Structure 1
Amino acid sequence: MQLFECQNCGQTLHFENRSCERCGHRLGYIAARQTLAALRPDGDVWRPLDRPDTAYRFCRNVEEDACNWLVPAGGPAYCEACRHNRTIPNLSSTSNLARWRRVEDAKHRLFYSLLQFGLPLATRADSPEGLAFDMVADPEDPDAPRILTGHASGLITINIAEADDAERESRREGMGEVYRTLLGHFRHEVGHYYWDRLVRDDETMLARFRRTFGDERDDYAEALQRHYRNGPPSDWADRFISAYASSHPWEDFAETWAHYLHIVDTLGTAGAYGLRLRPEVAQASDLSTRIDFDSYTAGGVGALIEAWMPLTLAVNSLNRSMGLPDLYPFVLSPSVITKLGFVHDLIRSAQETGIQTTNAAESAERRLAPA
């Protein structure tokens, strides 16, 4: 994630900022320019200080303080991220509103990456399998089935209970996971969407996928039952990024996709801060790095891994100094790096073949039903 600068006073800004803390200017994110713009009001529109000849309105979800993105004046009501919402929770509940805002913060960070990569982003108005989100709460009836986070034919369901830190930590411990975040959920589930979009119908890519991850035609339901019944294989850490990745090739891909996005965006943040590592020990070549490249356009996965390994060692050490768990508690084995290379090449292939982000027109009626 890049850093931004107020065009009025030069104050450093961050992605979620709504206003400049120094000069008070209203801020809005313009996805097409990848910039957080300082704005001045002009009637019922807003004009960026650096391009006053252009006019914008805020995404409609600004009304609930769930979005700070801009849309062109006269354009769609919802921004590039929010136009994919199919269902949001019942906002008459204060707790639902607070949780939905946190869910949207994570989702907008996801879309920052997807737009940076230029990946296809069809909506349900564009395609029956377009990317859509149901962000819903568990039913009040304690005996009713709980909402499960997951993906089906382009529809990603997120249980907003995951926005509650205590609830998410309880689920993390209950499922024996070392890492569980809202952003991680979004990155994992959208991996399933892009498997359908970029791998499933491409014979060449599908053949390479099967050589790298295994045969996805293995019965998925039975594979998950087997995983929960028997646990992962004893050598899973040699071949998979997580224990859950070992359950089925689809989950292996989604986990790997999520970690690729973790790596690229975190390196982007480190680069924005100009981070360099030069440990003061005699033989520290393996621990040194200088992140002076654009991680989103890196030519090969090797450059990413070369910078990522020492960075994670450093930040994990910093966390331990604060008495916290490792920030990145994962091991990248040679097999996992090969899989990350597949994801890297897949994204580059999508770019090179001219697949571009689709900015769909606003649908005639967007279903935002209480749930």
Structure 2
Amino acid sequence: MRLFRCEVCGQLLYFENRRCEKCGHALGYLPERNNLMELEPEGDAFRAVGVEKRRFRFCANAAYDVCNWLVPAEQEGEYCLACRHNRTVPDLTHPHYLKKWQRIEVAKHRLIYSLLQLNLPLESNEDREGGLCFDFLADPSEQDAPKIMTGHDEGLITIALAEADDAEREQRRNDLGELYRTLLGHFRHEVGHYYWNCLVRDAGRVSAFRAVFGDESADYGEALKAYYKAGPSADWQVNHVSAYATSHPWEDFAETFKHYIHIVDTLEMVGAFGMRVAPRLDRSGDLKSQVDFNPYRAYDIQDMVGAWLPIAFALNSLNRCMGMADAYPFILSPGVIVKLGFVHHLVHRAAPADPVRAAVAERREAGAPPTAAAVG
């Protein structure tokens, strides 16, 4: 995620801001410019400051304070590039559902931001059957009815509304023995399944996938039963970024995809702040880091991992000073870095052709295997 600034008064802004508190201008995110735009009313729409001869309006979901994205005034549809993927939203007559939906939409919009910056294919269910769409569902009111489970079915991703309740999500994290559980993490994991379909299965790369992640033809249901019964092997961190990643190659890919987006998006913000890490006690220089590249366009996974590990160590150290859990309590072993590299390569192959990037990637892939790296 990048930093944003009001071009009228210079105030720094959050991605979710709808109004500049310093100068009072209304704000809207314009995906085509990747910027929060200052708005001036013009008739029944708005004119974005600095964008001549064009008028915009807010996504229809702005009426519920869940979206600040803009759409061209002449566009026929009501919804922005992010909200057009919503298939089902909560019943807003329920007094508590709107607040939970607002939290879900914050995470979803940040997900779509990342997918757009990576130039990944982003078709909705209206574009084609099996396109990306979301159901945000509340648990049934009947006590004996099964609860909604967050999950995926081809392009349809279901997010349980209960996951927007911090106490409920923390309880589930503890019950499942997870190190980490967030709404944004759910979105990034579940969309990883969608991109397995797009970038692996439909693109004819299953053989290459199996060489890195294993045979996904193993019975998925039985694999999950075995995982929940016996748990992961003692040495699971050698090749997996999380315990759950050991349950099945599909879950391994989705977990790796999630962590790839975690790393890329956080590194972009680190670079936007001009942050650098250079510990005074690190005489070897191994923990020096400065993000002087665009991680959304990085040619080499090693550049990203090399920058990420010192940043993660610093974040964890700061959190511990505040009595909080580690921000990134995961180990990136050589085996995990290979898998991150596989995802990185898939993502950039899916982006518009860039001969320079492709040539560099080929040279990198012909080099030495990654060295060990860990955060813990």
SS in 2 for 1:296: coil
SS in 1 for 2:351: helix
Whether the aligned pair in 2 keeps the contact of 1:119 and 1:350 (CA below 8 Å) is: yes
Partner of 1:115: 116
SS in 1 for 2:96: helix
Q: Distance in 1 between matches of 2:282 and 2:174?
A: 39
Whether the aligned pair in 1 keeps the contact of 2:119 and 2:352 (CA below 8 Å) is: no
For 2:80, give the aligned amino acid.
C
Partner of 1:97: 98
Partner of 2:136: 135
Partner of 1:165: 166
The reply to whether residue 253 of structure 1 matches residue 273 of structure 2 is no
Whether the aligned pair in 2 keeps the contact of 1:81 and 1:111 (CA below 8 Å) is: yes
For 1:318, give the aligned amino acid.
L
Q: Distance in 2 between matches of 1:175 and 1:288?
A: 35
Q: Distance in 1 between matches of 2:254 and 2:22?
A: 41
Partner of 2:79: 78
SS in 2 for 1:156: strand
The reply to whether residue 319 of structure 1 matches residue 319 of structure 2 is yes
Give the CA deviation at 1:284: 4.3
Whether the aligned pair in 1 keeps the contact of 2:11 and 2:20 (CA below 8 Å) is: yes
Partner of 2:195: 194
* 1:280-291 map, 5 Å: 280-281=280-281, 283-291=283-291
What are the Cα deviations for residues 10-60 of structure 1, in whole angstroms up to 9, with x where unaligned?
111110011001011100000111000010100111111111421100000
Q: Distance in 2 between matches of 1:253 and 1:299?
A: 20
For 1:347, give the aligned amino acid.
V
* 1:198-213 map, 5 Å: 198-203=199-204, 205-213=205-213
For 2:219, give the aligned amino acid.
D
Q: Which runs of 4+ in 1 moved over 4 A?
A: none
With structure 2 as the length reference, what TM-score do the two structures score? Answer: 0.92
What are the Cα deviations for residues 86-138 of structure 1, in whole angstroms up to 9, with x where unaligned?
00000011210000000000000000000001111111111110100000111
Partner of 2:351: 351
Partner of 2:8: 8
Partner of 1:267: 267
Give the CA deviation at 1:201: 2.5
Q: Distance in 2 between matches of 1:336 and 1:97?
A: 38
For 2:79, give the aligned amino acid.
Y
For 1:272, give the aligned amino acid.
A
Whether the aligned pair in 2 keeps the contact of 1:290 and 1:307 (CA below 8 Å) is: yes
Partner of 1:243: 243
Aligned-residue CA RMSD in angstroms?
Answer: 1.0
Q: Distance in 2 between matches of 1:39 and 1:223?
A: 52
Whether the aligned pair in 2 keeps the contact of 1:40 and 1:46 (CA below 8 Å) is: yes
Alignment length (residue pairs): 353
Q: Distance in 1 between matches of 2:248 and 2:351?
A: 27
What are the Cα deviations for residues 256-312 of structure 1, in whole angstroms up to 9, with x where unaligned?
000000000000010110001111115141111111111100011000000000000
Give the CA deviation at 1:72: 0.3
Partner of 1:364: none
* 1:288-303 map, 5 Å: 288-303=288-303
Whether the aligned pair in 2 keeps the contact of 1:278 and 1:284 (CA below 8 Å) is: no
Q: What is the percent sequence identity of the aligned residues?
A: 56
Give the CA deviation at 1:343: 0.3
Whether the aligned pair in 2 keeps the contact of 1:7 and 1:50 (CA below 8 Å) is: no
Whether the aligned pair in 2 keeps the contact of 1:84 and 1:124 (CA below 8 Å) is: yes
Residue ranges of structure 2 left out of the alignment (5+ in a row): 355-376
Q: Distance in 2 between matches of 1:289 and 1:198?
A: 31
Residue ranges of structure 1 left out of the alignment (5+ in a row): 355-371
Whether the aligned pair in 1 keeps the contact of 2:55 and 2:73 (CA below 8 Å) is: yes
For 2:78, give the aligned amino acid.
A
SS in 2 for 1:285: coil
Give the CA deviation at 1:353: 5.1
Indicate the larger mover: 345-354 or 84-93. 345-354
Give the CA deviation at 1:246: 0.2
